[in-house]
Amino acid sequence: MKDDFQQIYLKEIGVTTPISLFVPSSTGTSLEHKAVDEVMHAEVYAKPAQEAVVAVAEVAVVVQEPKVVPNVSKVEDLNALQAQAEACTSCDLAKSRSKVVFGHGHQHAGLVFIGDAPSREDDIAGQPMTGSAGKLFERMLTSAGLVKDDVYVMNAVKCRPLHGRTPKPEEFAVCEQWLIHQLDILQPKLICMLGRVVAHTLLKNEASLADLRAGQFDFRGIPVLVIDHPSYLLRAQQHKRRAWADLLRLKSHYQSLKNGN
């Protein structure tokens, strides 16, 4: 069964060879490297278009303003909460966004994925995990026996920062109430944080990404695992091997929680 799951994973991310990426060959040119080369040229791993150069004035240090807490009224429905979030103007990101990227997925999902902030494509579509990273993400879910509609996907910051920069601490702080209320409604069994930035911010843990990926954490009493963000895997394709191990661990841990173990 493990080998079948591995072959599904390799097929879904674009590897056409039947040989595992994780079994080295004794030949001069390893089959592992051959498989890696095939994935490197797969369409899903095409490097995203270069972001516009950030003007110096746009990244100048500014005086941090007092934390602004969104006016989140108590609701029991994600659609009602989304309507509140779409009216939020609590930080400057509201001035440059195209759309609020609230979240997407099943309203009773047991598994929630959290990224740091929307991409350019997300900002236009109003949904998280679109574009090249979204295609890769869906293939990763499929390889783990999941589909996007069976989980819930959101970002810690609901509006895209200009030029795709890393969100500022105050932007994370302003959006935290939306995220907390989403989790309160969803009541997931497991959270999967996508990448170092969101893990550092929400877990208050400055460990290396390697240590974060190897660890088990919790956020507001909910178990947490950390894996690479799909957009990072598009840029750092040499790390896609470890994504396989992360998916196996994620699937196993989620199934254990679902079964009450």
State how many domains the chain has: 2
Residue range 195-240, pLDDT digits in tens: 999 999 999 999 999 999 999 999 999 999 999 999 999 999 888 8
Domain that holds residue 33: 1-41
* Domain assignment of residue 171, yes or no: yes
* Domain assignment of residue 16, yes or no: yes
In Å, how far from its chain's centre is CA 55? Answer: 27
Residue range 136-146, pLDDT digits in tens: 999 999 988 88
* Domain assignment of residue 53, yes or no: no
Same structural domain, 29 and 130: no
Low-confidence stretches of the chain (pLDDT < 50) are 16-67
Same structural domain, 142 and 28: no
Residue 141 one-letter amino acid: L
Q: How far apart are CA 50 and CA 48, in angstroms?
A: 6
The pTM assigned to this predicted structure is: 0.76
Strands across the sheet containing 111-115: 104-105, 152-155, 111-115, 190-194, 222-227, 217-219
Same structural domain, 123 and 36: no
Q: How far apart are CA 47 and CA 99, in angstroms?
A: 24
